[in-house]
Structure 1
Amino acid sequence: MVSISSIVGRRVAIGAMTLWVVSVIVFAGIQLLPGDVATELLGQSATPETVAALRKSLGLDLPIYVRYLEWLGDILRGNFGTALASGRDIGEMIRPRLFNTVFLAITAALISVPLALLGGIVAAIYRDTAIDRIINVFTLASISFPEFFVAYTLILILAVHIGVLPSLSDVDTTTSVLGRLTAVAMPALTLAVAVMAHMLRMTRTSIVSLLGNQYIETARLKGLSEWRVLVRHALPNALAPIANVVVLNLAYLITGVVVVEVVFVYPGLGQLIVDSVQKRDIPVVQACSLIFAATYIALNLIADVLSIVMNPRLMHPK
């Protein structure tokens, strides 16, 4: 039997190696973006001498591997550098934006996870009936529609026609909790629709696959209601794949918010990275991309560990 600590250690080592590879790809890929930050800052009327002097002061004239090593060393020391466009410390810029993105992701998770679990249980109880087919149509439709379509549909219905929610999600450090909840309501609903279908279908599939087992039949013969059989006996044994899908969708909620934040002009990391790409602010784009990658890798690690803990057979070598 392999100990859980050794399994976690291997997963952490693989995650660290993956993050390093991602950092190389991010750094190299951003260097290939068209345009030049010096020209962007000075304008098209700048002389070649002025542009060259600014590039030298920013260290852009150094070889790419030298710039990568310096950037990676600063990142390991917790220093994201200085934004080229504004001259502000990138860590100070990212901190409130990261909080906004995490707040949005948590709000979307609090909406989507309970609804997905409830919908999956209902679909499993009434499988192959009209209720199951209706839920199946909803999940397929929500998967098929792109996020920006769902976002603009919600804006049209809830903001324009009904007028119960704002169309723009404008928050800052002084916004109250109630104000934040109101502001992130539509972005959170958009993300919830995007991720709920995967969790719902996995819940239904996992529960249905267990309903033919003998202990389920025994529970039914004891006179237990179908809801109690599913919730007390089937659902706990189906938690491993469900938990894996839930955590992976939480990773998507944090890393896949770019489109939603841009649509609702929400001041999160997604909006910041889009603005920074437009301004050719390379250090900010690199920092945001690395944070997204680290978050996704960390949550994938958590999903792997949860799967192993909930299914002890994976701890035994084959």
Structure 2
Amino acid sequence: MSLPFIRFVGTRLFSTAVTLWLLTLFAFVGGQLLPGNVGRAILGPLADPRAIAALNHQLGADRPIAVQYVDWLGHALRGDLGTSLVLNRPVAAVLSGALARSVELAAFACVTLMPIGIVVGIVAALRAGKVFDWVSNVIGITLSVVPEFVWSIVLILTLGIWLHWFPIFADVSPDTPLATRLHQLILPALPLGFGMFGYLSRMTRTSTLQALQSHYTRTAVLKGLSWPTVIWRHVLRNALPPALTVLGSQLGYLIGGLVAIEALFRYPGIGSLILHAAKTRDFPVLQGGVLVIGALYAIGSLLGDLVARRFDPHHDTETP
């Protein structure tokens, strides 16, 4: 492992740590800025003000915000995100179940649409200027610019209500057979992956075109290597790192961008859980959910950059 790569890893780890710290600050302060208070959220709007004040004192909610933040951060670093005010359960347990369901949906979208996006981008670059290239570019842009909730409504009306091909609500009961479960995940997974598919296919096309026009590709052709060998050993090796970076950066988007989709399809993932926590003023769940989603995004982006850098054949000669 080269020294430039080690320096790059250290720099990215430091920047990720700073990002996570700022995220904890944002999650805590954001929860504190919501109207209402903890005592009233627990006891209800008609509770006696003295009882509310006593409960806030008992929970430490009347302490200075800085003291509350340090205490909350210390518990969060140990995996203790508090107790849900509405469900009366540990926040970590509530978030883990919802996160598992969101990961299942996001993983299904990745497995079905990401490989297709990469292949479409590569084929479009190999057929640059031809009909396939033009059509795939138009489709990719269209899928990227239309919001997920618009696609969700269109798919519900067409594939769900009109054609009756897929159920519009996803059943997440654990005893549901796997084939039935996957069939129910298709409709919410499609709008989730459309934007990612469009961006990934265009990114792969651009990086593949750059690799095709590079000097090492021309040198490989002049050496007499077969075209499939040139594509596999030289073009794809240099074109895929940017796509890998996209895969990492899109991980947090997949998990965090589920709020609208989960609400429309009544899917009980972490997005709908955070939305419900905001409506019910469940501050611990809201803060913990924002923290988890932000951490996933930061870690996914870090892993994407590290993988892309590691597989970049020129990383030893670049400055971090």
The answer to whether the superposition gives a TM-score over 0.5 is yes
CA-CA distance at 1:179 after TM superposition: 3.2
CA-CA distance at 1:54 after TM superposition: 2.6
CA-CA distance at 1:152 after TM superposition: 0.8
Native 8 Å contact 1:109 1:250 kept in 2: no
Native 8 Å contact 1:2 1:316 kept in 2: no
Query: Aligned residue pairs: how many?
Result: 317
CA-CA distance at 1:67 after TM superposition: 1.1
CA-CA distance at 1:22 after TM superposition: 1.0
2:81 is paired with a residue whose SS is coil
1:167-178 mapped onto 2 (5 Å cutoff): 167-178=168-179
AA of the residue aligned to 2:253: Y
Partner of 2:127: 126
1:214-225 mapped onto 2 (5 Å cutoff): 214-217=215-218, 222=224, 224=226
Distance 2:150 2:291 in 1: 28
AA of the residue aligned to 2:92: G
Distance 1:270 1:72 in 2: 22
**What residue ranges of structure 1 are gaps of 5+ in the alignment?**
none
CA-CA distance at 1:44 after TM superposition: 2.8
Partner of 1:242: 243
Of 137-146 and 28-37, the range deviating more from structure 2: 28-37
**What residue ranges of structure 2 are gaps of 5+ in the alignment?**
none
- Is 1:136 paired with 2:126? no
CA-CA distance at 1:199 after TM superposition: 0.7
Q: CA RMSD in A?
A: 2.1
CA-CA distance at 1:229 after TM superposition: 4.6
Partner of 2:187: 186
TM-score normalised by length of structure 1: 0.92
Of 273-282 and 40-49, the range deviating more from structure 2: 40-49
Distance of aligned partners of 1:73 and 1:181 in 2 relative to their CA distance in 1, 3 Å threshold? same
AA of the residue aligned to 2:12: R
Of 43-52 and 64-73, the range deviating more from structure 2: 43-52
Native 8 Å contact 2:251 2:296 kept in 1: no
CA-CA distance at 1:317 after TM superposition: 6.4
CA-CA distance at 1:111 after TM superposition: 1.4
Partner of 2:197: 196
Q: Deviations over 1:177-236 (max 9, x none)?
A: 2233122211111111021111100111111112233554466674845x6653454112
Native 8 Å contact 2:211 2:235 kept in 1: yes
CA-CA distance at 1:96 after TM superposition: 1.5
CA-CA distance at 1:7 after TM superposition: 3.2
- Is 1:50 paired with 2:51? yes
1:184 is paired with a residue whose SS is helix
2:166 is paired with a residue whose SS is coil
Partner of 1:289: 290
Of 126-135 and 1-10, the range deviating more from structure 2: 1-10
2:3 is paired with a residue whose SS is coil
Q: Deviations over 1:86-109 (max 9, x none)?
A: 211112212221111111111111
- Is 1:9 paired with 2:10? yes
Of 49-58 and 272-281, the range deviating more from structure 2: 49-58
Partner of 2:36: 35
Partner of 1:100: 101
1:256-275 mapped onto 2 (5 Å cutoff): 256-275=257-276
Distance of aligned partners of 1:223 and 1:18 in 2 relative to their CA distance in 1, 3 Å threshold? closer
Native 8 Å contact 1:276 1:282 kept in 2: yes
AA of the residue aligned to 1:152: I
